[in-house]
Structure 1
Amino acid sequence: MMDKIKSNARDLRSNLTLQERKLWRYLRSRRFGDFKFRRQHPVGSYILDFACCSARVVVELDGGQHDLAVAYDSRRTSWLESQGWTVLRFWNNEIDCNEETVLENILQELNRRSPSP
């Protein structure tokens, strides 16, 4: 099962949505507050859009098709939170129309969850 999840994650990494690509420009290569993010990162039986493992923060982008997945996302979020992760969810249109606020919210949570030097 884990091989299938890893294979799916690889496929998703090569097929990012427009909004995922826009957000990844900021999160990749420690460009965002020196936090390391992984995209389409497997955790348990789930694949996370973006994960900062050191701060245990997940960033998920939801699109229009997402209304059908509310129950699944609720179970997924509950499981991730039980494992010590914080899940931040944003709609695709928030990336398109309010990117700066999304980035501020992510950075605020990262700083809150990270130990001070």
Structure 2
Amino acid sequence: MKHNQRIRGTSTEIEQTAKKLRNNLTPAEARLWAVLKNKQLEGLRFRRQHPVGDFILDFYCPACKLVVEVDGEIHDRQKEYDAARTAKLAEYGYKVLRFSNQRVINDLPQVLAEIRRVALSIS
């Protein structure tokens, strides 16, 4: 039963937080989700606000273990944390792509092209 099995060591609190975040996407996350959901990108299934361990991944494609992070301004001040987080996810075998909010909003076609390129090179 699911309630006894944790996703990569997540806690109930992390899973509840992820659920709340799914209902409160940032404008950039909502814009990207609109084109990732329902297998619109190369037929790949993405999950949004997916819990893994102590982390909540903005977007995750299980078929190719691809993580897509959409970073706001706070990430300019937490580069070391983000690097450690990316390294930990790499230990799980995940590939992490990071895009700024501004890039998602202002250059969505190029963001999608990069996600597509990396996803297809992995799968």
Per the normalisation by structure 2, the TM-score is 0.89
- Runs (5+) with no aligned partner, structure 1: none
Match of 1:36 in 2: 45
Listed as ranges, the matches of 1:1-117 within 5 Å are 2-114=11-123
Quick one: percent identity of the two aligned structures?
40
| CA deviation map 1:34-56 (0-9, x unaligned) | 00000000111110000001100
Compute the displacement of 1:63 (Å).
0.8
Match of 2:7 in 1: none
- Structure 1 stretches of 4+ moved >3 Å: none
Compare 63-72 and 23-32 and name the one that shifted more: 63-72
Q: Give the match's secondary structure for 2:118.
A: helix
Per the normalisation by structure 1, the TM-score is 0.94
Across the aligned residues of Structure 1 and Structure 2, the Cα RMSD in angstroms comes to: 0.9
**Amino acid aligned to 1:68:** R
Compute the displacement of 1:16 (Å).
0.2
Compute the displacement of 1:70 (Å).
1.3
